[in-house]
Copies of this chain bind each other. A is one copy, B any other.
């Protein structure tokens, strides 16, 4: 399960991507309101994303958050990695420190299949993919339906 910080990050970045398509750069107040996340905590998380170069920001009047249109599509796993690291995808299913293919815990194989599929999903899914779904109406992001 993702940390709340990762969840907020993904929702925030999807919101930003959607707004960017209309040439708008939302600020953290608007973002947090629309994705229903705590305002200052959202600001913190976005700061982290900017520091880790997932996102750009400008300060001052008319400022806000936006993606570099040149940069390659951003996958969910990059966001997760920036916010909480990769332990989710490497940790043993029952917490053994020395669990591995050669010395597997008793659910190693079965758990690894699921964990790897989750890793594939987050690797292959991009923020733009999610933004597309919101815009086409295939998915929702709480208050925004984006009509």
Contact = CB atoms under 8 A, between A and B. Distances in A.
A133 interface: yes
Given A106-B139, A111-B121, A121-B114, A94 B7 contact: yes
Contact of A129 (B14, B93, B106, B140): B106
Contact of A106 (B1, B105, B107, B130): B130
Nearest to A108: B139
A95 B41 CA distance: 15
Interface in A97-127: 97-99, 103-108, 110-111, 114, 117-118, 121, 125
Given A107-B130, A130-B107, A142-B98, A88 B121 contact: no
Interface residues of A, number: 43
Interface string A70-102: 000000100000000001100101111111000
A117 to B, nearest CB: 5
A140 B99 CA distance: 8
A125 B110 contact: yes
Interface in A47-81: 76
A134 B106 CA distance: 7
A10 interface: yes
Contacts of A94: 2, 7, 10-11
A147 to B, nearest CB: 15
